Structure 1
Amino acid sequence: MRWTSYLQLASTIAATVAQASTLTPPVIPLIVRNPYLSAWLGHARENPWEHWPIFWTGQEIGFSVLASVPRSNTVYPLLGRPQDSLRKTGESFNVSYPTFLGATFDASTTNLTYHIPSPFESQDSLEVVLSFLSPITPTSTFRQSIPAAYLTVHVTGGFDLDVYLDINGLWVSGDRANTIGWTFSQSEPPKGSKQSPLKVWKVKRVVEQLFTEWADRSEWGQLHFTGPAEVNYQAGTSAILRTAFSRSGTLSNNVDGNFRGIMDEEPVFAFAYSFKLKPTSNSTSAAGGKTYASALFTIAHVQDPVIQFASARGLTAMRPLWASYYPNADVLLEYHYHDFQKAFNLASNYSDQLAIDALQSGSEDYKDILALSARQVLGAASFSGTPDNPIIFFKEISSDGNMNTIDVIYPSFPFFLYTNPRWLAYMLEPLIEHMLSGQYPNDYAMHDLGSSFPNATGHPDGRDEYMPVEECGNMLIMGLALVNALKYDTQPASIWSGQGRHKVAQFIEGAFPLFVDSDGMDDTVGGPVEAKGEKQARKWVEKSYRLWKQWTGYLVRETLIPSNQLSTDDFAGWLANQTNLALKGIIGIKAMSEIAEVVGETEDATYYRKISENYIKRWEEEFAISRDGTHAKLAYSWYGSWTILYNLFADSLLCFHIPSSSSSIPNNWKDQKPITLPDQQVLKTGFVSDKVYKLQSDWYHSVRQKYGLPLDSRHLYTKSDWEFFAVSVASKKVREEIVDSIALWVNETTTDKPLTDLYDTEGTGGFPGIEFKARPVVGGHFAFLALERACDGKAVAALDFLNEEEKVEVYEEEMMHNEEL
């Protein structure tokens, strides 16, 4: 028996478990790396052995864990429903149930903690933690690209324990009738290496179908299930293997060679590990005579190629990004297994910083909402391309399966600004390349890169979903946000952007090449050093300036009074003269004026700036605001209507609302007191006036429902991403009360799929008919963190006028309290 080499990890995990999550969502991520490696704990408010884990669609997948105490004749299900395979009578063992202490999670990790009773009256129960790690590593794009995750079984106690794990073929196909094949192998570590050999199951369809999905699961690719050298193994019928383990606490090291259908005498692929915890002279004990030990397993789903893409050079089978660094999956996954501690540390660094930032800007509830959202965002991403030109392909999960949908990238992009702006560039690049190549015929930005993931084949007929103002505005806003993230002065958009070695690409075609050092770490992103950020931004904009100008021209013609069309909220239907949509387009024109400045196109910059200033004045004074001046209307001519004005977020994010758009703002401007003006006078300090911010903030307070802020006056449903966009530019009091409402919804909603972004704000907080689930748009929950770091930290400070009234109210309450004393 190898006493754990992860003792330091054990204490780390124990500390993590102690920090209980404040929220109880209905579903929690377990292993979430990309659209096809996606396992979740459904019914997460119940015991983990009462239901099978689920794929993001809500369909079950085979993943079970059992524990057995030697010589106790008792077996305990921990995950899945393996007990259904075990006979209730006539066996040498009994099925019992542990005490489940609950699930905790951070941005990368989910821990399930159990107590198993001791067979001896004199001993305490044993603690088992199943720790699932899908590491988010913003300083290591290479590691983020690896389609694999970790499961550590962590035990603490004074008596021995045997643990069994198995998976089935539903990880490699959505069709239960498909025939699968499998192999078992043991790796050979490099000569001279101190690494132990690994034991690996490989499972795939016998006849694969490249670039094909069935029920959103891939029909090509191979599952790798890896365990340490000490495990016993077996492949065979699920009931036979589970029964054998329950009787003996081990497996026979045999492989059933009868390839068959996924549910035809259901073949499973199992490992068994024995933890020798009885104190001995060789063991390492903690306080109270208890011993720590752990065993590490990994699960990977490997595809090569990953996507077919209508690139500038034609239809191309795109290889995974990791293939530029490792010759094959076996070598990659052996590296991945032994890289656990480094990946764990990088992921913990991200999770810890995220928790700090969320707590400082919000609350415990906000911290947990972001932790719950992070893996879900990246669960839509597939890393491809080469180090010279990395690409992220992004699936519009659950709503319609499109590729790199612009209005799905847009709500998710606060996550990428906060975490790694480079990854935002990698998502936009294939869209820009495709449109630059002339394969898209319309003069506005395309809706998506292809109707059905993983086929990024474009829309050569131009008949993609019709959202022209929406997508042009989205591209221009994200384009300038990315430029600003590169050109930061003192504070980067992402705290991790400045970490790593400084490299300046001189002769590489791609604007965002990926330099990786010998430890798999990225170079810096943008920044002031040697004007690297300025050079990257200019190079990127120059390459596609024709497109930016073309999209802006469309907005100049069409955005002030939008025709009947869809916005990103297409489920709400077509509508003419949408107030919020027009605002997005106008901000897009303003963004282009600054994009033009980046490449020295001063005439264009002046022209677009004047147009945008004229349009925003007319939008505010003629079209947008209700007759009583209390809120923005849903549509110009729809009197009595109202809407969440979530596109106001872009005005602040792009630094249009700080006192000056130049970088010469006095350092002491935040300390200056606002000038007191008569009630009817409004000091316009930015592009969109303070008045609009103030009236919308007040309106959100007045229309808030039990579970949040309805999307508009037509329905009681809402979109959580837009709620966070909206309240990020509202007063602190309004933001706090709406975040509280959203947290209440997370705890009480009857939705039963991975975190939805579309839900009813009243009733049971359920689905409003449409079932959105596991969508990456929850990256919008990071809106306030992205805003806090925008404009060298000035963006949020420029909104402090929204809190002045609240400060006065607090002051008056304190004065009254003092007088009473």
Structure 2
Amino acid sequence: MRVHLWSSLFVLLFVSLSYSQDSSTVPVRIPLAIRSPYYNAWVDSTASGHTWPFFWAGGTLGWQGLIRVDKQVYQWLGFSGLNPPVANLTNTQLTPTQTVISMQAGPMDINATFLSPIETADALKQSIPLSYLSLEAKSRDGVPHSVQVYCDISGEFVTPDTNAILTWSSSTTGSSSFHQIQLQINQSLVDTNNRAHDLTMVIATQSNPEVSSRIANDTECRGQFSDDGILGGTPPTTSAKMGNPYPVFSISRDLGNITQTSSPMVWAIGGFRDPAISFTTSTGKVQQRSPLFASSYSDISSVVDAFVVDFADAKARADKLDIQILDAASDISPTYSSMGSDNKWNMSDVKMFMKDMGMSGRVNPVENVYAAFPFFLYINSTYAGYLLAPLLEYQDSPQYSQPYAARDIGQNYPIATGSNIPHSQGYEQSSNMLIMALAHARASGDGSLISQHYGLLKDWADYLTSFNVTPPDATTVDQERQSNTTNLAIKGIIGIKAMSEISKALNQVEDADRYANFASAFANTWLSVASSSDGQHLLASYGNSASWAQIYNSYPDRLLQTGVVDNQTYEAQTKYYQSLLSGTSSQFGLPLDSSTDITNTAWTFFTAATTTDSTVRDSLINPVWTHATKDTRPLVLQYKVDTSDPLPTNGASNPALGAVFAPLALSIPSQSIVVPPSSGASDSTSPTTHSSIVGPVVGGVVGGVVLIAFIVVGALFWRRRRRQQYAMYSDKVYLHSQPIDEPPVIIPYTDLTLSSTQLPSSDNGETQDSPLGTMARPSKAQEAGLTSAAYKPSPPASSSYSAAPSSSREPPTEVTSPTTNVSNSDVLGLRVEVENLRRVMQEIQADRIEAPPSYAD
């Protein structure tokens, strides 16, 4: 049985790093609730009481909020046909977990707070697909006023089809009162135009004698509240068409004569699905996975009860997390599943699934998991492992036969059947997986995934080494297709070095040294062929002197402190970015490279996190903030820098926006990697596992991460001026995890691997000084190749790739601390000799003009 993080970790929600913004400076579209790809609501920030909220992919959501003050009704959410006066918008505040809309309703000031919890320490709570809406009121004149409040949702939350038949019911327990609504024809795991056919919506509040509720058409419910300040009446039926008239599900409360609310009026709203996803295991068995909360709550009623009574504590946890993230951001920059036969849950098997929202709709798209990884590492690195687990399990099985990493584990969320399809992104996706595997192990201290799938990770590393510094002419995830791509090559080299660190963590010393030598040698060659002729910056493509690019793929080198790229190169690139920014007239950002007018929000933040100057970093991020405040749709990944227009497949609300945490993730301390004794390869049907149900789904379908987080960073970029150097990962062992509210302890990083500045050149030992580091002078074969932009050196003899048999995919059998009497100088000397020999062999091979092995797309 598996636990997949039910649709709600949305990278977990809109992390907007701003303290408070008046409504003129927040984005045009702001989130109200983000708990899954199917419960995901937004509103126009300038007119919350003048317009209806909408679904992230388009379409109106009937969500009405009314307040009755001394019998006068005001709208504070939605736009009722009754047309009462609209509460006057006075302020909008965004935090990492909350949107607070402040308004004036006659003599009362009101705050409506939309809270989508991010539960960093409790996966079960995170799996509950509900959000909070709370309302507070205070008299402006100090005089008590009669106040009643009202909220409803329509069937549009379930379906946009006005001819669809809805069914509903109402319940009252000792803890809660709620309505639940669903389609009469409920089709499990069916998704049409990003809308689920198996969604059960709920609107609830805590039980109270002053609470009243009603299900009727929209004019009846809203009209009754406006006239009487109370709801009542038995619904004439338990089903009806979704539209014309629209049935609404309303809950109100009489607050009495007050000068101020003693506690907020709270509604809980959300959408349930069970099963949440269909996952094909490594044995080919199809599992219908349930959300994790199902392991503790027997029905929707019990979940709702627990959620509504937890509001005060949930709000306190959210406030604490908001402060933590905002303080961390300001330090960086002042402007920055179903059940098994025995009915027991296998709580050791937790998985998380992501939808490629606003783009392809694929399941766990590797490039977007990779982009979002900084967020998960920062919030809770265990969640990062939950995302990797299904990708690794599927590919480390007979179901998968490609020599490189897959692009995803399913073409259409929520069906995760696996994806054994040849594709042209093998180099990039293999690099992504190796980098993420190491990042998760270091941040969490959990070595179970890298141990269990060690053979698979080695296969991918060997695939990368077979290409030396010349990735195949393949399409990147950004749909760029050009030969000798500098940016793609460096990601592969970092992936190889990550494999070395994985081997080191598992005490596979021979492997660790081998991959480290490959990475060091490749990095040196890469720098020599990727640099511009004046040595001032890196090219987009080897030999193309007119090209340049955002080298965002060097970010994991900073994150993991692998030392693949030397600091001189980062400094030179930073200066070059500065010159590009000063020379552009675009107010919306820097293109990805010299061949396009398109940029990517995620990769811009990766690039910004690699800079060595905070002013340049801020200059890269500020235009993204400008774009976010002008675009009229939910936050997007891809847009044109000249016009701010999103692309047709723009990645609106995409989880990849978690990349806005790239600068924050650099401060995460490294943990001692521990491999549990029982972390060998597992099979959910094996006798060695619990004979139980498929695990609960933790909260998972990280579908709509609309991280307004980067807005936070952006807003802070104008707030305070305090400079901080990036805190780097340490290669030393921590004896304990750092408490979340204490600053990380940074231990200096050390590495015996030779950097490019320590290696002699391939010709005669002479070197060439350059702002990009001390580069080895290219050989004659290399120079000739660069002239035609077709240089493709063959890999060292030891790097030829061959797919390892499945039997080789076994975890290390022993993890011990190696001992050695070899001095550091001996190791360095040996590596210099090995590098000299490798270079001689490379020149001989280059002179023979042998091409590296090729792979079909």
- Normalising by structure 1, report the TM-score: 0.75
* Cα separation, 2, equivalents of 1:109 and 1:162: 24
Q: How far off is 1:795 after superposition? A: 5.0
Supply the AA of the counterpart residue of 2:440.
L
The AA in structure 1 aligned to 2:280 is: A
Q: Does 1:356 find its partner at 2:327? A: yes
Moved more, 132-141 or 62-71: 62-71
**Structure 1 residue 112 and structure 2 residue 93: aligned?**
no
The answer (yes or no) to whether the contact 2:559–2:728 under 8 Å persists in 1 is no
CA offset digits 1:309-363 (Å, max 9, x no partner): 0112411101111111222221122111111122111111111100110011112
Partners in 1 of 2:36 and 2:636 — Cα distance? 17
CA offsets, 1:55-92, max 9 Å, x none? 11132111111222234xx321211111x2x2x7xxxx
Kindly indicate whether the alpha-carbon contact (under 8 Å) linking 2:87 and 2:104 is maintained by their aligned counterparts in 1.
Answer: yes
SS in 2 for 1:129: strand
Could you tell me which of 115, 124, 128 is aligned with 2:110?
A: 128
Partner residue in 2 for 1:503 = none
C-alpha deviations, 1:119-138, integer Å up to 9, x for none? xxxxxx20111111111121
Alpha-carbon contact 2:155-2:248 (below 8 Å) kept:
yes
How far the C-alpha of 1:173 sits from its partner, in A, is 2.5
Residue 164 of structure 1 pairs with residue 143 of structure 2: no
| Partner in structure 2 of residue 721 of structure 1 | 602
Residue of structure 1 equivalent to 2:281? 311
8 Å Cα contact 1:320-1:385 kept in structure 2: no
User: Distance between the aligned counterparts of 1:740 and 1:327, measured in 2?
Assistant: 48
For 2:37, the equivalent position in structure 1 comes to 35
Structure 2 distance, partners of 1:753, 1:386, is 41
Alignment length, in residue pairs? Answer: 643
In the TM superposition, residue 394 of structure 1 has moved relative to its aligned partner by 0.7
How far apart in 2 are the matches of 1:236 and 1:264? 12
Specify which structure has the higher proportion of helix: 1
Distance 2:31 2:309 in 1: 23
Distance 1:448 1:17, change over 3 A: closer
Question: Which residues of 2 match residues 341-352 of structure 1 at below 5 A?
Answer: 341-352=312-323
Task: Name 2:636's counterpart in structure 1.
Answer: 756
- What corresponds to 1:772 in structure 2? 651
Q: Which residue of 2 aligns with 1:672?
A: none
Tell me if structure 1 keeps the 8 A contact 2:577–2:616.
Answer: yes
Residue 240 of structure 1, CA deviation: 2.4
Structure 2 counterpart of 1:99, one-letter code: N
In 1: Cα distance, 2:20 partner to 2:523 partner: 51
Give the one of 98, 111, 118 matched to 2:87: 98
Say which SS state the counterpart of residue 558 (structure 1) adopts. coil
Distance 1:353 1:621 in 2: 42
Q: Distance in 1 between matches of 2:23 and 2:296?
A: 37
Equivalents in 2 of 1:290, 1:178: separation in Å?
43
Matched, 1:184 2:170: yes
CA contact (8 A) 1:156 1:292 kept: no
Match of 2:309 among 330, 338, 342: 338
Q: Measure the CA separation in 2 of the matches of 1:470 and 1:17.
A: 37
> Counterparts of 1:266 and 1:577 in 2: how far apart (Å)?
58
Q: Does 1:599 align with 2:597?
A: no
CA contact (8 A) 1:37 1:300 kept: yes
**Preserved contact between residue 168 and residue 238 of structure 2 (Cα < 8 Å):** no
The 10-residue stretch of structure 1 (417-426 or 699-708) with the greater mean CA deviation from structure 2: 699-708
Quote the residue 2:75 is aligned against: 77
Distance across 1 between alignment mates of 2:425 and 2:160: 32
Cα–Cα, structure 1 residues 50 and 290, in superposed 2: closer, same or farther, change >3 Å? closer
* Letter of the structure 1 residue corresponding to residue 213 of structure 2: Y
After superposition, give the CA deviation of every residue in 1:35-59 in whole Å (9 maximum; x if it has no partner). 1121112x21x22122211111132
Cα 1:290–1:336 shift into 2, 3 Å: closer
Give the match for residue 217 of structure 2: 237
Q: Say whether 1:57 aligns with 2:57.
A: yes
Cα distance between partner residues in 2 of 1:309 and 1:40: 30
Note closer, same or farther for the CA distance 1:795–1:320 as it changes in structure 2 (3 Å cut).
Answer: closer
Amino acid at match of 1:159: H
Q: Is 2:262 aligned against 1:276?
A: no
Matches of 1:17 and 1:100, distance apart in 2: 18
- What is the CA–CA distance in structure 2 between the aligned matches of 1:132 and 1:53, rounded to whole Å? 13
Work out the CA distance in 2 between the residues paired with 1:250 and 1:24: 35
Deviations 1:103-129 (A, max 9, x none): 212111111111111xxxxxxx20111
Cα offset for 1:397?
0.7
2:436 aligned partner, one-letter code: M
8 Å CA contact 2:392–2:453 kept in 1: the answer is: yes
Q: Tell me the distance in 1 between the aligned counterparts of 2:608 and 2:23.
A: 23
**Residues 253 and 293 of structure 1, relative CA distance in 2, 3 Å threshold:** farther
Q: How does 1:226-625 map to 2 (within 5 A)?
A: 226-228=204-206, 229=208, 230-257=210-237, 259-278=239-258, 290=260, 292-313=262-283, 314-363=285-334, 365-366=335-336, 386-460=346-420, 462-463=421-422, 465-486=423-444, 533=445, 536-537=446-447, 539-558=448-467, 560-570=469-479, 573-622=480-529, 624-625=530-531
Alignment of 1:739-818 (within 5 A): 739-747=621-629, 749=630, 751-763=631-643, 765-790=644-669, 793-794=727-728
- Superposed CA RMSD: 2.3
Residue 638 of structure 1 and its aligned partner are, at CA, apart by 3.1
Distance 2:561 2:607 in 1: 16
1:27 is matched by which residue type in structure 2?
A: R
Q: Hey, what's the Cα distance between the residues in 1 that align with 2:321 and 2:436?
A: 23
1:199 aligns with 2:177: yes
Determine the C-alpha separation between the residues in 1 that align with 2:499 and 2:55. 41
Provide the residue aligned with 1:150 in structure 2.
132
Amino acid at match of 2:291: P
Change (3 A) 1:708 1:782: same
**SS of corresponding position for 1:772:** coil
Q: Secondary structure at the match of 1:788?
A: coil
| TM superposition shift of 1:744 | 2.8
Aligned partners of 1:753 and 1:774 also within 8 Å: no
Give me the whole-angstrom Cα distance separating, in 1, the residues matched to 2:19 and 2:231: 31
| Partner Cα distance (2:254, 2:261) in 1 | 14
Question: Which letter maps to 1:485?
Answer: A
Q: Determine the structure 1 residue equivalent to 2:704.
A: none
Higher relative contact order (CA 8 A, sep 6+): 2
Structure 2 CA distance for partners of 1:231 and 1:253, relative to 1, 3 Å: farther
Per mean C-alpha deviation after superposition, the further-off stretch among 21-30 and 636-645 is 21-30
Q: Distance in 1 between matches of 2:155 and 2:416?
A: 27
Deviations, residues 482-503 of structure 1 (Å, cap 9, x unaligned):
12113xxxxxxxxxxxxxxxxx
Q: Structure 1 pair 75/732, CA: closer, same or farther in 2 (3 Å)?
A: same
CA distance in 2, matches of 1:301, 1:559: 49
- For the Cα contact (< 8 Å) 2:150–2:251, is it kept in 1? yes
For the pair 1:734 / 2:643, whether they are aligned, the reply is no
For residue 623 of structure 2, what is the amino acid of its counterpart?
S
Seen in structure 2, the aligned counterparts of structure 1 residues 360 and 23 have a Cα distance that, compared at 3 Å, is farther
Matches within 5 A, 1:591-670: 591-622=498-529, 624-657=530-563
- SS for the counterpart of 2:138 is strand
Inter-partner Cα distance in structure 2 for 1:719 and 1:245: 47
Aligned amino acid, residue 560 of structure 2: L
1:639 deviation in Å? 3.1
Q: 1:50 to 1:302 in 2, by over 3 A?
A: same
SS in 2 for 1:127: strand
Quote how far apart the aligned CAs of 1:757 are: 2.0
Over residues 677-727 of structure 1, what are the superposed CA-to-partner deviations in whole Å (9 max), with x where a residue is unaligned? xxxxxxxxxx21223212211111112242222211122221111111111
Letter in structure 2 aligned against 1:612: A
For 1:755, the aligned partner's letter is L
